[in-house]
Amino acid sequence: MMTAPPALSDDERAAILDAVREFTAAELAPHALERDEREIFPRDTLRRAGELGLGGICVREDVGGAGLARIDAAAIYEALAEGDPSLAAYISIHNMVAGIIDVYGTEEQRTQWLPRLVSLEEVSSYCLTEPGAGSDAASLSTTAVADADGYVLTGVKQFISAAGESAVYVVMARTGDATSGARGISAFLVPGDAPGLSFGPNEHKMGWRAQPTRQVMLDGVRVPASALVGEEGQGFRIAMAALDGGRLGIAACSIGGAQWAMDRTVRYVQERTAFGEALAEKQSVVFSLADMATDLHAARALVQGAARALDARADDAAVQCAMAKRFATDAGFRVANDALQLHGGYGYLREFGLEKVVRDLRVHQILEGTNEIMRVIVGRELLRRGRMAR
């Protein structure tokens, strides 16, 4: 089993975050509204992110990864999301795929795919959700039928980020019979140019418009036995373990987007006057800002605690990740929405950027497991244990 890397020192983390914030200010923030309006997936920008090591933040260094701990990764995603939550979230998803290959892949799979993924010369997609299997992922119906030459995959995946752009797709498919449940699911690496692989039209979404989202359709896609990740029947466990890290990434992106919205609002209420005084002089506004700051501070603490638990492979790491994801994505959306409200009519205008952040953060309460599912995870564990660890 891999040993988790130690967290960076304060000085090391500060140096990395300075570089990430410079990249965010130069590359992400200035063009965020244009990317959103025109639905641009900026491959050149992603490649420059790869030059900073952002394509394999927690991937081991022998294949070009940065080899960082989860707590440092969370700080990076937060900093990226202050410039554009949509692209920051995609980078988190891409890192989730790279992490699957790094942790569960063979050395051949690692050396074949990871150098290109960690540099972000090529991008990747995570394929679990289906049209009829979202929150109930264990009921997925995509099949992988073994034959003498490998496997033949047939099925449809839904809501797949970067579909049609990716060089490789991590696909969860059923190798067991229809009644096998989670135990019958396996994971496969499917190249983007595989015969029989096709894609639906780009979905026109409320937010996250800078990353394409399409169906992935597998019509008798043949892959060799070497495309299997881990062993047959391990796919659901691999998918859920990857989602623990993915949930922290999305939680951190929510904090980053909301932090930007709140910082902008603090400046606005100090400058804007109403009824003869600055908005910042009104007690209701001060109370709102205090609640926003408290929510973000609590969310960040939950994410940091869950990241440490995940790196330490604590027994309750999955529950902590679920708690952090639920709280941070709810809080992030609430703070961004409150920031828009405090801007009044100006907050509703595209040029102020607040309505984009609200739209981007809304989906964070749905993906990587809906927040209702996060409550199920936490509640069931509470009932099983009788009390939560302290």
Residues near 154 by Cβ (< 8 Å), separated by ≥ 6? 142, 143, 145, 218, 219, 220, 221
Neighbours of 208 (CB within 10 A): 24
Q: Is 222 helix (H, G, I), strand (E, B) or coil?
A: strand
Q: How many other CB atoms are found less than 10 A from the CB of residue 364?
A: 26
- Of 78, 368, 372, 381, the catalytic one is 368
Cα 94 from chain centroid?
8
Q: What is the rounded distance in angstroms from the CA atom of residue 231 to the CA atom of residue 174? A: 13
- Look at the block and give the residue holding tokens 């690496």: 189
In the chain, the amino acid numbered 281 is E
**Contacts of residue 260, Cβ cutoff 8 Å, sequence gap at least 6:** 81, 82, 83, 357
Segment (H or E) for 129? none
- Rounded to whole angstroms, the Cα distance separating 331 from 257 reads 11
3-state SS class at 220: strand
The per-residue DSSP string of 19-68 comes to HHHHHIIIIIGGGHHHHHHHT---HHHHHHHHHTTTTSTTS-GGGT----
SS (H, E, C) 246-280: HHHHHHHHHHHHHHHHHHHHHHHHHHCEECCEEHH
Look up 368 and say whether it is catalytic: yes
Catalytic residue numbers?
A: 368
